[in-house]
Structure 1
Amino acid sequence: MIIACLHTADSNCAVFEAAARKLGLASGVLHHTVRPDLLDAAERAGGLTDEIASETAAALSALATHADAVLLTCSTLGPSTAIVGQAPVPVLRIDAALAERAADADGKVVALCAVETTVAPTTALFSEAAKLKGVTFEVRLVACAWKSFKAGDRDGYLAAIAKAADASYDDGASIVALAQASMAGAADLVRRGPCPLTSPEAGLRAALERIAQRAPRVES
């Protein structure tokens, strides 16, 4: 089994390997491709453009030819999966799986973003999932966190996210969802409420479910 991951930050390779180990996946199941240029272009453009989406979709389609499932791990680029077209295997955005899991919670859901370009796609995703399940949600941007990430200050980045998650619980959130894969490490630092939901684990679970659904059934 091969799950191909398209990342925009090299550090997310380790994040997903950790999530895979937690789920009991064997070493070598995940194949990583890192394209920081795609997110850099989106940040310069102020968001996802048609041209960037098309380039991302082409990269996803290429990965689909040698995998059992493909995961797009960047929330900013997430809508690109909608234009991949016919692919031989499932092509999934990890934040969609996260939104579905979060919407199963009772009460208010707060989704945290670290970079401004993820706010619009995250809001659209969570709005749809919340409407289907009848829950309330709010998307919050963790101010200045992305500057720490870009500067290589991982500890400062995760601490800022954990602080925002604790504040969300103090404000009445039932569950906090960390919308970007790079935020996953902050979950262990949260003290004021349940462990936040993270997109790497949600995305991998969704991929495994889709792969299992496609597997041929053995007649007894």
Structure 2
Amino acid sequence: MRISLLHTIDGNRQVFEHAAAEMGLRPEDLRHVVRADLREAVERAGVVPADIKAQTREMLVELADEADAVIVTCATLGPVVAEIGNGPAPVVRADVALAAWAAESAQAGEKIAVLCAAEVAIEANRKLFTQYASDSGASVDVIHVPQVWTLFKSGDMNACLAAIASAAQDAYAAGATVVAFAHPWMAPAAGLVSDEAGHGKRPLDSARAALRVAMRRAGEAATGED
């Protein structure tokens, strides 16, 4: 199986490689393309400019030509996927895969807590997770953790991951049934979440979520299933 991934943060490569290894994939099964310039252009403009959308579409179609599935790991670029239509291979949005997984994991009356570090992504995550949780009857609480974003940008990943794990434990203690990490680079913090309260759960991350969907959809495409 060949899965191509379009990243805008280089550190996400290792996150997805680790998740892939846990799921039985080999390093050679993944092809990583990092385009930090796309994210930087969006940050400068404050929106996704037309030329960035066009570049993203072209890149995704090119990757799909040489893969069984493609994953877009950047939520900002994710909406471009809808503009591609039926391509040569399935294209998966990591943020959508995570929202769907969180909804599947919760039942009516339960609470999904989404830890979001970047303020600019709060409303988009609230809208996305609420959309997918509506059928399950679960509520969604997007929790802004600005200290995590500050630590991430400073490069202090040990302190950053510890802060994420602490926020996840607080969310469980506050009654969340499901905790989801809004950003792929948060994934390593899942292993640091203690189970002092006995909840026996692991936070969901978009790396595992996206790879689950990509593997399933690639398999369906290979067998001709809808």
Query: TM-score, normalized by length of structure 2?
Result: 0.89
1:123-134 correspondence runs (5 A): 123-134=126-137
Q: Give the Cα–Cα distance (whole angstroms) in 2 for the partners of residues 132 and 168 of structure 1.
A: 22
Aligned residue in 2 for 1:122? 125
Q: Give the Cα–Cα distance (whole angstroms) in 1 for the partners of residues 149 and 41 of structure 2.
A: 16
1:154 corresponds to which of 157, 161, 185: 157
Q: After alignment, is 189-198 or 32-41 more displaced?
A: 189-198
The 3-state SS of whatever aligns with 1:85 is coil
* Unmatched runs of 5 consecutive residues or more in structure 1: none
Q: Give the Cα–Cα distance (whole angstroms) in 1 for the partners of residues 97 and 123 of structure 2.
A: 17
Aligned residue in 2 for 1:5? 5
Q: Give the Cα–Cα distance (whole angstroms) in 2 for the partners of residues 49 and 175 of structure 1.
A: 34
Aligned residue in 2 for 1:199? 206
Q: Give the Cα–Cα distance (whole angstroms) in 2 for the partners of residues 31 and 113 of structure 1.
A: 27
Aligned residue in 2 for 1:213? 220
> What amino acid does structure 1 have at the position aligned with 2:191?
D
Identify if the C-alpha distance between structure 1 residues 141 and 48 changes in structure 2 by more than 3 Å, giving closer, same or farther: farther
Deviation at 1:49, TM superposition (A): 4.4
Q: Does 1:36 align with 2:43?
A: no
What are the Cα deviations for residues 168-207 of structure 1, in whole angstroms up to 9, with x where unaligned? 1121111100111100011111125421011101100100
Identify if the C-alpha distance between structure 1 residues 61 and 117 changes in structure 2 by more than 3 Å, giving closer, same or farther: farther
Q: After alignment, is 166-175 or 190-199 more displaced?
A: 190-199
Identity score, percent: 45
Identify if the C-alpha distance between structure 1 residues 179 and 204 changes in structure 2 by more than 3 Å, giving closer, same or farther: same
Q: After alignment, is 14-23 or 43-52 more displaced?
A: 43-52
C-alpha contact 1:2 1:69 (8 A) present in aligned 2: yes
Q: Give the Cα–Cα distance (whole angstroms) in 1 for the partners of residues 26 and 163 of structure 2.
A: 32
Q: Give the Cα–Cα distance (whole angstroms) in 2 for the partners of residues 11 and 127 of structure 1.
A: 28
Deviation at 1:47, TM superposition (A): 4.6
Q: Give the Cα–Cα distance (whole angstroms) in 2 for the partners of residues 124 and 50 of structure 1.
A: 23
Deviation at 1:88, TM superposition (A): 0.8
Q: Does 1:93 align with 2:93?
A: yes
Q: Does 1:16 align with 2:16?
A: yes
RMSD: 1.7
2:181 corresponds to which of 162, 175, 178: 178
Identify if the C-alpha distance between structure 1 residues 91 and 154 changes in structure 2 by more than 3 Å, giving closer, same or farther: same
Identify if the C-alpha distance between structure 1 residues 76 and 159 changes in structure 2 by more than 3 Å, giving closer, same or farther: farther
C-alpha contact 1:78 1:121 (8 A) present in aligned 2: no
Aligned residue in 2 for 1:163? 166
1:65-80 correspondence runs (5 A): 65-80=65-80
Query: TM-score, normalized by length of structure 1?
Result: 0.91
What are the Cα deviations for residues 69-93 of structure 1, in whole angstroms up to 9, with x where unaligned? 0000112222221122331110110
Deviation at 1:212, TM superposition (A): 0.9
* Unmatched runs of 5 consecutive residues or more in structure 2: none
Deviation at 1:4, TM superposition (A): 0.2
The 3-state SS of whatever aligns with 1:32 is strand
1:138 corresponds to which of 141, 151, 168: 141
Q: After alignment, is 90-99 or 190-199 more displaced?
A: 190-199
